[in-house]
Amino acid sequence: MGQTEASKTPGLRAAIYCRVSTGDQSCERQQRDLRAFAERGNYEVVAVFQETASGSRDNRSARRKVVALARDRQIDAVLVTELTRWGRSTTDLLSSLQELEACGVSVIAQTGLQFDLRSPQGKLFASLMAALAEFERDLLRERVRSGIAAARARGVTFGRQQGQRVKADRYQARVLQLRAEGRSYRDIARELKLSKNTVMSIVQRGAG
């Protein structure tokens, strides 16, 4: 005999997170599929978040709200259609999974894969991701070093120069050095008291 709705064992509390990259796309299909997935898995959906943001952007307010629920111990899992909807990069994904792990929260993809870093599968996944993240950082360092060399070849002088007034020029060498060390745009901006857009502009110009 099947269980009635009232006799079902309460499932894990979950937040649904949907993301699309551009304004002409819709989160409707993701939300519909994830609600059906939650129903099949007996997850108790306590919140649904959706936003429009490219995978490279750091200002994802809806994702921050999901993390806030995790910190407040209001959810046990985050449901996504696929990991690319949640993480911006390998490094970002690993960092966010570790943050959620500290709150006892897993990220569960619609495929049924559960990324709980406390499990053997999760630990193996984390190790593989850490190796990929280091590879990404090595590639970034190589690109930044090439950018510095190219800038020097164009006559750019690194370090603060007498009479300079443009903030980007004053901080260029330090920004590129921190970026080569694998620091995020946000961390660099916070340390140097610059806007994140200024930091990104410096790095892009240095790598040109």
pLDDT category at 133 given cuts 50, 70, 90 is: low
Please state, as a whole number, how many other Cβ atoms lie within 10 Å of the Cβ of residue 20. 18
3-state secondary structure of 143: helix
Closest-CA residue to 171 (of 154, 188, 153)? 188
108, pLDDT greater than 60: yes
- Contact, 45 vs 66, CB < 8 A? no
Per-domain residue ranges of the chain: 7-118, 136-206
- Reported residue count of the chain is 208
Longest Cα–Cα distance of the chain, Å, equals 83
Query: Of 200 and 130, which is predicted with more confidence?
Result: 200
pLDDT (tens digit, 9 = 90+) per residue, 136-190? 666 667 777 777 777 777 776 665 555 444 566 677 888 888 888 778 888 888 8
Tokens 């280091």 identify what position?
A: 134
- What's the DSSP call for residue 105? -
Residues designated as active site: 21
Please state, as a whole number, how many other Cβ atoms lie within 10 Å of the Cβ of residue 96. 19
- Contact, 38 vs 45, CB < 8 A? yes
Range 7-118 classified under CATH 1.10.3720.10: no
pLDDT (tens digit, 9 = 90+) per residue, 14-69? 999 999 887 778 899 999 999 999 999 899 999 999 998 765 556 688 999 999 99
Q: At what angle do helices 196-206 and 120-153 cross, to 10 degrees?
A: 60
